[in-house]
Amino acid sequence: MISTPTALSIAQELLRCPSVTPADAGALGVLETLLKAAGFEVHRVTFSEVGTADIDNLYARIGTSAPHICFAGHTDVVPPGDDGAWTHGAFDGEVADGLLYGRGAVDMKGGIACAVAATLDYLAANGGQPQQSGKGSISFLITGDEEDVAVNGTVKLLQWAAERGEQFDHCIVGEPSNVEAIGDTIKIGRRGSQSGVLIVDGTQGHVAYPHRAANPVPDIARLITALNDEPLDAGSAQFQPSNLEFTSVDVGNPATNVIPAQARAKFNIRFNDHHTQETLRALVDQRLAAACGNRIRARIEWLPSNADVFVTKPGAFTDLVSASIAEVTGRTPDLNTGGGTSDARFIAKYCPVVEFGLVGQTMHQIDERTPVSDLDKLTAIYRGVLERYFA
């Protein structure tokens, strides 16, 4: 059999590219070289938008027919922080005591490396094609714009692919889904995210003459309490209850003897499938109006959001991934929708998608790292997914 690169060697190459978002730093080139050599048709696509950085993206496919499974992910990483605080260089890709260190080792260059290694090994064992019959397709949809604003990445790459006639049947995003050990969690959905600013207007005045002013500070405190006191919902079959969290209160007033003219409070809502962005905004606006009555002058400034709620309901595909996990680890994964948002929210509009990758305990931390043995396990799981998918 033809020798193919290991997940460790691929991950080390990727980690040595300092691709702090929005920089690519050669990371996509590493993947392009590997995939082209394996027979993939590879496209590099750059997207732009006013006020944001140009972003390089990669789409690669082998095969031209269904069934079509896609591996998706991102090669951009968050900044490493204090370089001197790292035990091993953030972009050195060093292995020490069985651990691979580097920014992106977990989130998510390690996961991409495992998917590529598994795919190349699978193809080498199957005559260089997804199925020996010649049917089936495998693709990679990789962006450099996930850790920042996420406007010139996956969302536009999916639109570009759709305009080319690409159709995906299923997708795996290699985000670090596991909590404590490889195989403990598959993410089958994510809550939506909606941010806003609560604005309460008052009348500025001297603190010695409060009857000549209207203080917005007590009013905004009452409204925060009112909006927090009543739950948005009780959760659903696949999701925990939606939650509204206030994150700051600001009056822009450095003086101690002046009643401010306005108070503002920022908040974020993580919402489940009881709501859409539109119905959620309407519900909160309605509750605010009721809390204000005829006395308090307040409004919400809703911020733009592209983070919709989604869920891939358990079925044949989640069963297939779970079976591959059980074969390698002996674990039955929890099908979970917790955590923050990811690019899977964009993919869910095109095909069923799950997230399964490495253990996320050290992502975004100093000394981000993963056991090399976890890379081997994840590669074996992805390989098992391909074998079952094209059986």
pLDDT score at 164: 97
CA 298 centroid distance within chain: 33
| The CATH number of the domain covering residues in 7-190+309-389 | 3.40.630.10
Assess whether 76 carries a catalytic annotation.
yes
Catalytic option among 76, 273, 343, 374: 76
Assess whether 146 carries a catalytic annotation.
yes
Catalytic option among 146, 219, 355, 374: 146
pLDDT score at 87: 98
Q: What is the pTM of this model?
A: 0.90
Q: Helix, strand or coil for residue 170?
A: strand
Residues in the chain with pLDDT < 70?
1
Q: Does domain 192-302 have CATH number 3.40.50.720?
A: no
Percent pLDDT > 70 in the chain is 99
Measure the CA–CA gap between 298 and 226, rounded to whole angstroms.
13
Measure the CA–CA gap between 76 and 49, rounded to whole angstroms.
18
Binding residues: 74, 107, 147, 175, 364
Do 94 and 101 contact (CB within 8 A), yes or no? yes
Query: CA 176, 76, 140, 153: dihedral to nearest 10 degrees?
Result: 110
Measure the CA–CA gap between 298 and 172, rounded to whole angstroms.
44
CATH 3.40.630.10 location in the chain? 7-190+309-389
pLDDT score at 17: 99
Determine if the peptide bond prior to 352 is cis (ω within 30°): no
Binding residues for Zn(2+): 74, 107, 147, 175, 364
Measure the CA–CA gap between 349 and 187, rounded to whole angstroms.
16
pLDDT score at 1: 54
CATH 3.30.70.360 location in the chain? 192-302
pLDDT score at 29: 98
The region that residue 25 occupies, defined by phi over 0 for left and psi between -120 and 50 for alpha, beta otherwise, is left
Alpha helices by DSSP H, the chain:
7-15, 27-37, 109-125, 154-163, 216-229, 277-292, 316-329, 344-347, 372-389
Measure the CA–CA gap between 330 and 327, rounded to whole angstroms.
6
